[in-house]
Chain A
């Protein structure tokens, strides 16, 4: 793969291609990150980590439907203490790793971030937008512009590493929130998380299938929502954007970049295309760029906006 065509700088991280493994999908242990890094990702995102261990919601935690999937994992994770031990050495992970930290309050965010900042991660992402876990994200007002700015400011104080704020197409005023966190010091925006919550009912038993009853919707079904949000955010802020939601092929990555994304997050596509999905997407992206004579990703970034 000719490195320079796809290479991108995101908050000082050098990515050999713009695909980033989305948080919580596949790469949830140290050894799985290492495995994912051998599968051609530009960067990897860790599973979201909280202060205390969490067992997460009951299974089923992931279900599929005709045009996507839903999940209600419930932020299962071993807690920051344990994570500091497990992830201390990431030397065999061959691409940048982005940490993901979560708290219920700005203080708790700061605590987890300050610990995580000592790990060999290149940036830290804060999901403010999970649609299906009480105490966090959309279920506790973290995406109110004022609250989001408060959390961002606390995060910036807790580490010198770049802070990425992860939003979701479920936020109606996503541009406004993005602008608020930019002012508070955020280094990048990821948009985004799953959408919802949604629900799937098994008609034979009349019961909702996900153990938690409802969950976030992701995969191809939400791609147009994510693209429009990235478009709105690009209008609202100057900091780089990670476009994430339903990206399954190189074409989808191109669309996201044209909406204004600097890099693209990929999660659900690994279900459809296997663990090499990110490499496949990067290959397709490169093939298309060559055909259309694009010399860099920058040339196509944001072109859907016409101006800028």
Chain B
């Protein structure tokens, strides 16, 4: 029996990576590049440790030789992250989670709302590189907050913009734009990342059109590898069973689109959960 002792993995410890470049994507969105190689599947995430501040999950917005994470500055942690400079060291644990599954799709629709684009940009690039017909709906509140348009068009994907205030593209929500697009064409699969109510809308539209859908969920994460339970939603662990879930899976989650847990584990409404940080 002693010979069957399991190997003791040691992957829950941050490894230092040197920051190679920091760029501003918009007034509120930044990308931090670090020294690769760092490989991960589209949709997988890392836990990013800022010593003395905190550790939070980020999907990789680039992988391989020049990996990166992108973020919107909106709280204490991201304000500290925005101060990181070239040559600084950042601590990375991961990659974790399941990632998106393109499997045998020949045409896809990818919907991104706000900073959600950071979680699907490598999926868009990979799909387009595989010659999969790739339609992208990119939404933001206003024109100045749209990011990654150049990377999307450069990938060969076709881009449909969408703003709440009509300053660019379709005037309205990404869910409406998706509805219009689906009148004309039916992709093999839909992918979405963005505000949860948007994803709920996309899941409903996908179900109505009987198209499989994959959604990247967000919940408060403290470990990233399935041990602490902080990211639980109705018995699923977002960090380990997800972060990407299918439409069938989210249909079994009563809390999807409704509530999320605070750091203490107390459940509150999504509206309260995602309200601007003090």
Contact = CB atoms under 8 A, between A and B. Distances in A.
Contact of B8 (A67, A77, A86, A202): A67
Interface in B50-101: 51-56, 89, 91, 93
Interface stretch (B114-122, B134-142, B220-228): B220-228
B49 A31 contact: no
B132 to A, nearest CB: 33
B14 A209 contact: yes
B8 A78 contact: no
B56 A59 contact: yes
A63 B6 contact: no
In terms of DSSP, what is the predominant structure of the interface of chain B?
loop
Contacts of B235: 29, 31-32, 34-35
Contacts of A9: none
A54 B99 CA distance: 32
B229 A60 contact: no
Contacts of A288: 1
Contact of B1 (A61, A211, A249): A249
A205 B229 CA distance: 28
Contacts of B265: 28-29, 47, 53, 76-78, 82
Range of interface residues on B (Cβ < 8 Å): 35 or more
A76 B54 CA distance: 16
A3 interface: no
A115 to B, nearest CB: 16
Given A27-B229, A204-B89, A288-B1, 14 more contacts: A29-B235, A53-B266, A60-B49, A62-B225, A63-B12, A73-B228, A204-B91, A205-B91, A209-B91, A249-B1, A271-B225, A271-B227, A272-B8, A284-B4
A78 B261 CA distance: 9
B104 interface: no
A134 interface: no
A288 B12 CA distance: 32
A191 B139 CA distance: 54
A305 interface: no
A175 interface: no
A295 interface: no
B13 A25 contact: no
A77 B228 CA distance: 11
A284 B5 CA distance: 11
A55 B222 CA distance: 11
7 contacts: A26-B229, A62-B222, A67-B8, A73-B228, A76-B230, A86-B267, A249-B5
Question: Which of the listed residues B2, B55, B228 has the most CB atoms from chain A within 10 Å of its own CB?
Answer: B228
A202 B15 CA distance: 8
A79 B266 contact: yes
Contacts of B197: none
B24 to A, nearest CB: 25
A55 B261 CA distance: 11
A31 B232 contact: yes
B5 A248 contact: yes
Contacts of A86: 267
Interface string A119-155: 0000000000000000000000000000000000000
A157 interface: no
Nearest to A248: B6
A52 to B, nearest CB: 9
B39 interface: no
A159 interface: no
Contacts of A5: none
B185 interface: no
B51 A271 contact: no
Interface in B227-251: 227-230, 232, 234-235, 237
B10 interface: yes
A105 interface: no
A290 interface: no
A200 B13 contact: yes
A205 B16 contact: yes
A206 to B, nearest CB: 9
B105 interface: no
A66 interface: yes
A275 B226 CA distance: 9
Given A29-B229, A56-B263, A61 B8 contact: no
A114 interface: no
B194 to A, nearest CB: 24
B146 interface: no
A23 B24 CA distance: 44
Given A28-B232, A288-B1, A64 B13 contact: yes
Contacts of A53: 262, 264-266
Contacts of A220: 8
Contact of B6 (A34, A78, A273): A273
Closest 4 CB pairs of A and B: A28-B229, A31-B235, A204-B16, A207-B51
B9 interface: yes
Contact of B51 (A47, A64, A73, A205): A205
Interface in A257-297: 270-273, 275, 284, 288
B218 to A, nearest CB: 15
A277 B52 CA distance: 34
Interface string A203-241: 011010101000000011000000000000000000000
